[in-house]
Structures are given as C-alpha cells and as structure tokens.
DNA sequence: GGCTCATGTTAAAGCCATTCACATGAGCTG
DNA sequence: CAGCTCATGTGAATGGCTTTAACATGAGCC
C-alpha cells in the first residue's frame, strides 16, 4: 500500500510537498474552469491524494483560494515593479508600461487574476493577503507620486493617491471588461492595450501633462501616432 | 396533500408564478451571499417548492443566473437612461450623472451587479442577455456621441465609441474595486463617487473639454439647444 | 530500536445539482 | 359537467463536493 519514492517522482504515503502541489493544481484548474468551477476535491485528485488530505494544509477551500490570491498579488507586484523599472527611460513611458503590464497579467495569468479579483474572497480575508494587495498597489502609487512630482509648472498638482486610484480603476475596468482571452468578452474596435493606453494618455493630458510624441524628453523612439488614439478606429 | 389557495397567498399543488418567485428568491440570496454562495436548492426552498421544481423553468442553475443578469442589464439600462435624461440640463452634467448612476446601481443592486459582472456566466450565454447588455452600454455610447459632437473647435474629435469605452471602464473599475458596501472593500481617501467624478472630469479635460469650475452649470440663461454646450441634433 | 507527530487515508454525514418516473389539477373540448 | 391533456410539481435516486473524525504511516529524533 505504500510505495517508495522512486526515481520517477512516485511517492510514498507522504507526498512530501503537498501544499505546493495543491497550489499548482488549483492554479491550473482555475485557469481552466474559473474560480467558481474549481473544486477542492479536484485539486486533491490532481495532486494524487485523497480528498481529505488538503485539510492538513488549508483550513478550507476559501483558504486555498486566498493563498492563491496572495501569491497572485506577490507576482503582480513583481510584474508591475519590473514594468515600472524605476521610471526609466522616462516617467510617462514607464507609467504606460505599468498599464500594459496590468493587462498582460490579467491575460497571461487569468487564474491568479480571477483569484485576486473575482473569487469573492474578501481582501481582508487574511492580513497577509491584504498586505500583498497593498504592496502591489503601492507600485502604482509610487509611480503616480513620481509622475505627480513632474506636474508642469503652472498646473495645480494632483494628489498622487488619486491619480493612482484613477489609473488602477481604469486598468482594472479595461482588464475586467475586455481583457481576458475568451470569457465574458465583448467586441472592441481596438485592443484592450490600445484602449487603456489612449485612456491613460487622455487622462494625463487632462492633468496638464504633455503627452504627445514630440514632448517627452529622452524617449528616443517615437510611435507614428499623432495623438492618444491612433489614426482611425477600425 | 394539496391545500387550496387561501386568501393569504398559500398555494396548491401548482405555484402559479414560480418562475418569478424563483427569480426574486435568487435575487435575495445573491444579495446575501454573493453569486457563488447562492444555490439552486436554496432558491427553491425559499420559494416553497421542491428542489426539482425549478427545472421546469430554468435549464439549470446558470440559466437562472443568466436570467437575473439579463434582468439586471434591463434595469441598468433604465437607470442609466434616466440619469442621462437626454443630456439635460447640459451634456457634461448629464454625462457625470451617468457615472454616478453606475456607482449607485452597483451599490444599491449588488445582486444584479454581481450577477451581471461577477457570476462567471459568459455574456453570450444567451442572445437576450447579450442584447440587454448591449442596450445598456448603448446608453453610455449615445451619451458619448453627444459629448463627442460637442468637442470644442480646434480639437481633434475623439471617437465616441472610444470615449464610451473609457468611461465605462473607469466607472466599472471604480465600482468593482471600491463600490460595494462591505465586500472586497479597500480603504479610500474619498468616496467612490468623488473618485469617479474627478477622474471623468480630468479625462474630459484631456479631450479638450473645458470642465473646470468656471465652465459649466451655465445652462440657465441660454436655450438648452444652442451654443457650444447644448447643440446636439439628436 | 522505539517514540511521536505531521501528514495521509478511509468512512461517513450532509448538502447540492440533476434526472426520471409519477402525481396533480387548470384549461380546453365536447 | 365528464374527460383529456399537458404544463407544472413531487419524491426518490445518483453522483459529486465539503468537511469532520478515527485511524494508519513513516520521517525525524532520542
């Protein structure tokens, strides 16, 4: 009844790394069937253990989901931080990259994304989860602060927090409504990325930032666009 | 085994209006426990029928959910239409009211809202659902078209569809992230309504609309259909 | 070698979704 | 009014899921 752990990854009575295996299994299942379709039992089956085993590592199904959401926020923070790249080569460009990274994350990591935002687990489900979410948002806020500090002279400086919330909301709205591959999709005359970029540029212009191609400092390459929205809607 | 229908709303073997009763029951349950927590059996119990009865009216649980979402979009359309009020007293003010109505709907009708946007049912689940969603969005699009037509001279006119999508995304993002009473709430330095209004105003300013304090609310003297702020042939 | 406890297993209770055969009675037809 | 029919409900059965409890295993430690 109890096989030894052989060279091919078989296991004995004890799994050895069940917690991690369950998280991975759940991630795959959520990606397949959404956070609602995912079942605790299925994750256990995928990991090759009995249905009761997961309870040694997670209080219940929601606890697993919260763990995934937390891990998702951690990944999210990394991705956003990389996109921001400390504001290089210039603040506006880097800021735009954050928006793109937001959408890219929603698209390439739908399992994380839905666990984070659509699973129905409250943000304050655990302090760690809340903290992870806060850190991820912190990247956007920090970028907004840098951006706010660059407000052109003669323009009243907007609160960085508000800017961060606006951009977050816009990115989140675009991602939620149009961002995922196949579910809940609505037809769009443009890509979500372009939609978000245009919106963000218009928004920044509304704050007094010069956003057209001829303006910003060290941006060497320029897009052939003439304004926030390209040439013509499809 | 079969009571007569007495004066107080008791019922006999046949319910008489079960479909409606199930929709109402489900609506209440979703409001209580979210779209995930709601169960078909619970709805049946609330309506006072056996667990199998609902299947005479809905193909399955998702079908009920889709019906609720559809009804939600219909309500939503009404609410948005009322808020828009055909652009009175001026286009920008009415446009702002749409944003407020969006948030108000998310807050006062959380059951509808989550069935519409967070239940995981695909938009094209049924043609009726898709059409209802399209009509609701149509209100925003129509408003955006009126607004786009008012672009001040000398400014390139933005595509109305794009404007509509931006505003929808922003409103949806704010509502999803911060809009509901108690679940998934994050702390905010301002109300969701103020956040959205500020964002929308900044956005409109970025499009070249004069939106600051010195600008509008000035529909009192001029005829509502003339001048830069009111001319919009239907 | 022997202990102990974290980690798994089996078994069981309770809930839910879904289906099938059957019951009821509302409304039509004559 | 008698009788028929079919939409609408009921009960019971199947199979899955969640969660708990009692028991088994063996890894790490003396």
Residue of B164, B228, B81, B221 lying closest to A198 (CA atoms)? B164
Q: Kindly determine whether the C-beta of residue A157 is less than 7 Å away from any atom of nucleic acid strand C.
A: no
The gap between the terminal CA atoms of chain A, to the nearest Å, is 63
* CB nearest A170 (choices: B159, B170, B201): B170
pLDDT for the residue B226? 30
Q: Which tens digits make up the pLDDT trace of A182-217?
A: 545 677 889 999 999 999 999 999 999 887 643 334
First to last CA, chain B: 61
Give the Cβ contact number of residue A75 at 10 Å: 16
Q: How much of chain B exceeds pLDDT 70, in percent?
A: 83
Nucleotide nearest to B42 (CA to C1'): C16
pLDDT computed for residue A124 by the predictor: 87
Nearest to A164 by CA among A59, A80, A55: A80
Q: Is pLDDT above 90 for A225?
A: no
Q: DSSP letter for B125, please.
A: G
Look at A47 and B123; give whichever has higher pLDDT.
A47
Question: What are B129's two structure tokens?
Answer: 């659902």
Give how far Cα A39 sits from Cα of A34, A101, A119, Å.
10, 29, 13
Name which of B182, B202, B208, B215 to mutate to probe chain A: the one with the most chain A Cβ atoms within 10 A of its Cβ.
B202
Segment A163-183 mean pLDDT:
89
In terms of pLDDT, which residue wins out, B132 or B179?
A: B132
pLDDT band at B45 (very low <50, low <70, confident <90, very high): very high
Cβ of residue B18 lies below 7 Å from strand D: yes
**pLDDT tens figures, B115-140:** 999 998 988 889 999 999 999 999 99
Query: Residue A145 class from Cβ within 10 Å (0-12 exposed, 13-18 middle, 19+ buried)?
Result: middle
* Residue among B183, B200, B41, B34 nearest B117 (CA): B34
Confidence at residue B2, expressed as pLDDT on a 0 to 100 scale? 42
Determine the pLDDT at residue B11. Answer: 75
Q: Which among A122, A173, A202 is the nearest to B173, CB-wise? A: A173
Best CA proximity match to A169, nearest among B5, B156, B18, B174: B174
Cβ-contact B176, A172 below 8 angstroms: yes
CA angle A57, A61, A62 (to 5 degrees): 105
Would you state the pLDDT for residue A1? Answer: 44
Give the pLDDT confidence of B57-108 residue by residue, as tens digits: 999 999 999 999 999 999 999 999 999 999 999 999 999 999 999 999 999 9
**Which segments of chain A belong to CATH 1.10.10?**
12-58
Dist CA A229 CA A227 (whole Å): 5
pLDDT at B181: 63
CATH of B61-206, one of 1.10.357.10, 1.20.1560.10, 1.10.3660.10, 1.10.3720.10: 1.10.357.10
User: Where are the domain boundaries for CATH 1.10.357.10 in chain B?
Assistant: 61-206
* CA pair distance A20, A18, nearest whole angstrom: 5
Q: Which of A 166-225 lie inside 8 A of B, CB atoms?
A: 166, 168-174, 176-178, 183-186, 188-190, 195-196, 198-199, 201-207
Asked if residue B41 keeps its beta carbon closer than 7 A to nucleic acid strand C, the reply is yes
CB-based contact B103:B157 (threshold 8 Å): no
Q: How does DSSP classify residue B181?
A: S
Residues A88, A97 contacting (CB under 8 angstroms): no
> What residue of A is the nearest CA neighbor of B178?
A169
pLDDT of A84: 98
Rounded Cα–Cα distance for residues B192 and B188 (Å): 8
- Is 1.10.10 the CATH classification of the domain at A12-58? yes
pLDDT at B33 over 50: yes
- Taking C1' of D21 and every protein CA, the nearest residue is A52
Contacts across the A-B interface (CB distance below 8 Å)? 133
């Amino acid at each position: 009844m109890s096989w030894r752990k052989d060279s091919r990854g078989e296991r004995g009575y004890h799994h050895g790394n069940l917690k991690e295996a369950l998280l991975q299994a759940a991630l795959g299942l959520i990606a397949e069937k959404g956070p609602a379709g995912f079942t605790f039992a299925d994750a256990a089956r995928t990991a090759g253990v009995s249905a009761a085993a997961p309870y040694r590592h997670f209080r219940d199904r929601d606890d697993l989901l919260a763990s995934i959401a937390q891990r998702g926020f951690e990944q999210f923070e990394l991705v956003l931080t990389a996109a921001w790249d400390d504001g290089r080569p210039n603040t506006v460009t880097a800021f735009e990259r954050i928006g793109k990274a937001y959408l890219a994350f929603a698209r390439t990591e739908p399992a994380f994304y839905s666990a984070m935002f659509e699973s129905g687990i409250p943000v304050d489900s655990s302090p760690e989860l809340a903290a992870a979410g806060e850190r991820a948002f912190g990247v956007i806020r920090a970028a907004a602060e840098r951006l706010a500090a660059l407000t052109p002279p003669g323009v009243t400086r907007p609160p960085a927090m508000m800017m961060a919330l606006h951009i977050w909301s816009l990115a989140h709205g675009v991602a939620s409504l149009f961002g995922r591959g196949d579910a809940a999709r609505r037809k769009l005359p443009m890509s979500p990325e372009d939609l978000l970029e245009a919106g963000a540029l218009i928004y920044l212009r509304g704050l007094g930032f010069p956003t057209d191609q001829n303006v910003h400092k060290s941006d060497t390459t320029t897009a052939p666009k003439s304004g926030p929205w390209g040439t013509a809607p499809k």
